[in-house]
Structure 1
């Protein structure tokens, strides 16, 4: 009996050992399969990540190449567009200048005829009536001064203030400069009658006249008052050296020739004021006709471009009529630069715009280089 129990116990122990070995072996197999599955999944993820990284690298390289090509194309397109814009503005400038020459020739022929003289007389009468009304509404208060030089300077200002508004506008200022340049020098006593007077100074350009006008117009309201002329003239004479500007020296010497001479010259100027008024009205009529012709031409050009549609790719400012080849340039101009309320075409301003566009092209070329 004892032997049977011992053998039964041994068999049971052996069976438990076999069961444990079987369980351990099966557990090892399951664990190995799980680890193999995890390893294969991780290997697949690594391979997929490598494929994605390679695809992203190829995509980034293609994108960089495309962006570089697009940048080159954009710069070339902008440069060509601005070049076309400069060429168009130069063409318009040439047309405007030809228009100005035609208007000058037309009015020269009109003023030479009797009908032109009658037209000028009627315009002069209407202008004098308006000038008298403005002079009655706006009285010029001039303080008494003991300095006779300042008094003569104020008398000169009143002579060239043709409309009696108390300020010199650009047209009156140009007439004053033209008189100072064309003023005949009185021959000195003892000089030969046939000898020529001193050589006349060179004629100022339009840019010099405008810069000199802006220099005297301290408040920037488009008119020069008598106080501004006095302060500028006093400052010029207080300087130890001559001004660096040729236009300032020209105006200072011209005013000195008027102010430091005798009263007879001022009386002679008062007698010539009607001639100055006639010259002013004639210039006003010609300028009005020039602006009208240029506005009509520009309005026709704007209507033609609007009718052409988007294919023309031309953008114009509705306030001043400036032409742009890019919409962003038009938006910058309207947002920051344009302060015009009426459509006024100025050849000098158009030339300045052409120079600005050419400088922008040069800046683009230097920036690319």
Structure 2
């Protein structure tokens, strides 16, 4: 029986802890915040993704399809609200039809139930939508990922896992007799293995543990609006644009949540701190770290104009944000939306300026580090946890 120390109390850390407990490991889970799922998990769009966007054979493709099933099954088994309502990916003009066809081919390759339908058929699902054709994806759903986390916490507590909030990791070193030692400020914890699921700080935890990961986390903020209650009827389910294949972001979309509210977004702008949920959330040290990384400037050279500039304009202008939504649902106007929350995506970036597209997991003796797990990681959490648990076994002395 191994003692495994897991860093990070979001959905991935909690799912990994549960998987390890299920394999008869002793588990201690450390979370620096006062609550579980305080960052990426607690600020996402609560969509159970189907897996149609990702390269066939990639981690994201395989784990999304499997994760869609396992997450829905987990929710239903543990009383977590979930609705497999399906979604539309809509081509708003003829120029988007080739990309829509490619997306349909990718869905078929990944085993995702989806089909191209006519504009008239699309309006049977969404009467207010504007499109020339659409891809209907049946297995997409909406869920409450925070409730999933609370269910995982309950299971872990019942299983005897040691769950610690308000416990930041301040230092990591090899154990004198093998394994690892982790300083938390109040004590030094000893374990046979370390699993890093620290999300926005995963690269820092990896460096603290003696690795030098090639990728660096660059935080991108996604901002949401919400349709006014009297306009929520304009959207029945989920409406997405045809995404830009060169970007990891899916574009501004409309999502009817479990409570009947309709969220719109997110956009994507560089966050000025790792946990920067507003423009005024600025960390000079975080910003300097991002600026010193050569990949940041190479990324900016590729995307700052016009893509990045337009995202910033949309962030600052409600009118522009509403105009993006009106491409999908013309009845949505500036007066119909109100600001909602925001989230920060922990996006791994390489020195050449390329965004890491797939999940990235690196290992060292007695260590497993999850170094890129943005969306759809919440959907895939139970599947990623299985893979991480396998890696713990393989990497431990």
TM-score range, shorter chain: under 0.3
TM-score by length of 1: 0.25
So what's the TM-score if we normalise by structure 2?
A: 0.24
Task: Kindly indicate which of the two structures has a greater share of residues assigned to helix.
Answer: 1
Q: Which structure's residues are more often strand, by fraction? A: 2
